[in-house]
Structure 1
Amino acid sequence: MKTYSYFILSSILLFCVTVQSTAQTKESVKKDSIPFLQGIWIEADVAPVFERALINKNAYRAQGNIQVNLKNKYYPVIEFGYAGADKTASNGIEFSTSGFFGKAGADLSMLKPKPNSTQKNNNFLVGLRLGASRFNYSLYNQTITDNYWGNSETFNLESISSTKLWYEIAAGMRVEVFRNIYMGWTIRNKHLISKTESGQTTPWYIPGYGIGNTSVWGLSYSIGYRIK
């Protein structure tokens, strides 16, 4: 009888341990059940259309990007495009440039996904980009005056080759407006890494970066499609 009672007690204890172990395993699986790849976005930036019409009629730009969602937390991205500018200054000097550019970086989601699908497909993102552009630019009607003799000479500098590197601090939002259709905006603060060396001319416009030789602000407004 004692042996029988011992067997029953041992069976009950073993059952309890097994149930607890199974529950812990299911909980662990549930926590780790978010697939690594959560989606791939292909997006086009429509902000340049409004920039050219309302802000800077001398510059033009076309830009797109491909971004990957990893575990709803990390968002590696590659951006690429073509940009240029043509401007005549008040002193008659003409500037012209065009070229391709590329950027690579990653964003981090600042929102914890909610159970409902509307919330989990919307994001507030912050991140970094490293940008590069290799381009040619030209300067026309530049004038040099000899202060001693008082003579002036006008000359042109054509197809000057230049490579510029910069980094960007980015923050923005992405919202699902229809099934797999997304819209969003990104604010960027850009800082040049490559500086103009002494004795060299400074390009008025850098494709992918913008105007100026110092830090600049930029805005992207994207429309995209989620393909996975």
Structure 2
Amino acid sequence: MIRTFLYSLSISLAGLLTQAAQAQVKPAGDTSIKKTAVDTSAPKPAQRPATAAPLKAAPLKKAVDTSGHKTAQRPPATPVPAKKPDSIYYVPGGLRLGIDISRFALHFFQPYRTDVAVQADARINKKLYGAFELGYNRTSHSDTSYTYKGSGAYATVGVDYDFLKKKDPSEKNMVYGGIHYGFARNTYEVPAFNIHNKYWQSVTPGSFPKTNMTAHWIELTFGMRVEALPNFFLGWAVREKIMLSNNAAEGFDPIVIPGFGSGSKSSQFDLTYTVSYYLPLYKLKIRESREPKKKKD
């Protein structure tokens, strides 16, 4: 019985080994998967019958950014405003003539001098005025010590700037400041003088001959002119006069330099008061821009 079992087991093992050997041997022929050839040429469009309705083009669709980022948009262009035309208007221009009445009051305080001064101004543009002045001085003094005589004329010319803001362009009132140049020519002499010596109880007479001189100075002015009656103006001004040069004889200064004041000083303060009349002679064309001024950063 044991023999019979061993015999059967040997037959079974032989069969299993035979099947395993057959499974490891490849069958004849190519068993790999082959790809089917694909036609890559562009397909021909299908022909439509002649009676078919024409095809409508599909509306173009805007590309949508699906990345999640916002697309930068350009700000709308700012419209450029049209340039406004300049404003043009006319202001009265003319010659204002006046007389300085403060010179008459000066004679009351300094009787030895007589002064006469006339002033004029003419409008140049909206704010600037040309200013002129002509004058004459005569100085005469006599006492027990000396006798002095002098006379001469002067002229000043300059510009005044009107600081007054006017609602009405035709208004002629003004508050102004200016700078003027002055020139004077003077002749003076001392016909006789006496030098008293108290110690010796003596008197020494003498004289200075007639001398001609010229002087140059500048004036800084500030004042106002107000129309009291139609075309009649009252005005006042303060002036600081600064001497530039003069050729007076050394040691023999004039008592008065016409238009300037004391001949022994290098600067002089002065006050004037004028009455004047306005002559409307012309008109000035004023052009102003309507464009707003740009603000500085």
RMSD between aligned residues:
2.7
**Helix, strand or coil for the counterpart of 1:164?**
strand
Q: Which residue of 1 is the match for residue 121 of structure 2?
A: 67
How is 1:208-219 mapped onto 2 (pairs within 5 angstroms)? 208-214=259-265, 215-219=267-271
1:19-54 residue CA offsets vs partner (Å, 9 max, x unmatched): x75x812xx1x2x4345x62321111111111112x
| Structure 1: runs of 5+ lacking an equivalent | 1-16
| One-letter amino acid of the counterpart of residue 274, structure 2 | S
In the aligned structure 1, how far is the partner of 2:256 from the partner of 2:134?
Answer: 17
Residues 198 and 158 of structure 1: is their aligned pair in 2 closer, same or farther, counting only changes over 3 Å? closer
1:115-135 residue CA offsets vs partner (Å, 9 max, x unmatched): 386xx3221111111111111
In the aligned structure 1, how far is the partner of 2:157 from the partner of 2:205?
Answer: 41
Higher strand share: 1
**Helix, strand or coil for the counterpart of 1:62?**
strand
Compute the TM-score of the two structures, normalised by the length of structure 2: 0.60
Match among 28, 33, 37 for residue 89 of structure 2? 33
How is 1:127-146 mapped onto 2 (pairs within 5 angstroms)? 127-143=178-194
In the aligned structure 2, how far is the partner of 1:211 from the partner of 1:72?
Answer: 37
Larger Rg: 2
**Helix, strand or coil for the counterpart of 2:245?**
coil
**Helix, strand or coil for the counterpart of 1:52?**
helix
Match among 193, 198, 206 for residue 155 of structure 1? 206
Name the % identity.
24
| One-letter amino acid of the counterpart of residue 184, structure 1 | G
Q: Which residue of 1 is the match for residue 84 of structure 2?
A: 24
In the aligned structure 2, how far is the partner of 1:196 from the partner of 1:135?
Answer: 10
| Structure 2: runs of 5+ lacking an equivalent | 1-79, 281-297
Query: How many equivalent pairs are there?
Result: 198
Q: Which residue of 2 is the match for residue 184 of structure 1?
A: 235
Q: Does 1:202 align with 2:253?
A: yes
Compute the TM-score of the two structures, normalised by the length of structure 1: 0.76
Displacement of 1:145: 8.6
**Helix, strand or coil for the counterpart of 1:131?**
strand
**Helix, strand or coil for the counterpart of 1:113?**
coil
| One-letter amino acid of the counterpart of residue 187, structure 2 | N
